[in-house]
Each structure stands twice: as structure tokens, then as C-alpha cells.
Amino acid sequence: MKNKIAIIGAGRMGSAMVRELAKENSNFCNKIKISDHNDWKLNNLSEYRIESSTDNIKTIEDARIIILAVRPQQMLELITEVSSFIRPEQIIVSIAIGVPLKWLSERLSQNKSIFHIHPPSTIMA
């Protein structure tokens, strides 16, 4: 497993994370992968020269850290899609406000490293 960071969701939060992680002189550009079901959202991030895909499974396959940056109402569908492909050694970080950590932990019970963070409001702006 490489030290890749997979971000699922290229909306406001996922895109903001890419912009912060892939700033000029950052060592993260070649370590970030992002997926979203909307090609146009991914195209908006093309200037950062990061790997992007509409395939969530492909995005997480060699990631060490998986950031779930989708809306709360999309989380069940996402977890249903990817849960059997997430390995126990991967670190899961959810930034979906309103999705309880307990709910996520029950669905990803093979993982012991699951975190839920509330990003600063400056990122959301």
C-alpha cells in the first residue's frame, strides 16, 4: 500500500481539501486521488494535476487514508458500494456532518481507525 490519500467526493468540501493539500510546493500532489460521479467536478480540479476518477473503488484501492467527503444523505450508498473493498489497515476519515461515528463504525467494523472530523468553517467558505 502506498501513502496515498483518497478523497471521495469533489464537492465543496472535497475540492477545498484538494486545494489545500495540493498547494504549490506541497509534497502531496502526487499522493492525492479523488473520485466523484460528476466529471465536471473533477475537471474543475484538473489544474492541481492529481489523479481523478469516477470510480470510487479504483480511487481507494492503494490509499492509506480514505477521506469520505460526501453529503450525509449519500453516505449509505457510498458505504454500501465501497465497504467490501476497504481493508482493515486503511484509515477512514469522514467529514460528513450528521453521520454519527457509531453508524460508520458499525458498517466498517473491520476497520479500527475510523475518525469523524468537522472541518474548519474556513475550508467550507
pTM of this structure: 0.89
pLDDT tens-place string over residues 50-64? 999 999 999 999 999
Q: How far is CA 112 from the centre of its chain?
A: 17
Instruction: Give the per-residue pLDDT at 71.
Output: 92
For the chain, count helices (H), then strands (E): 6, 6
Confidence of residue 111 (pLDDT cuts 50, 70, 90): confident
Q: Does 1 have pLDDT greater than 80?
A: no
C-alpha cell at 55: 470510480
CA distances from residue 22 to 34, 38, 61, 65, 68 in whole angstroms, order as listed = 12, 20, 20, 16, 18
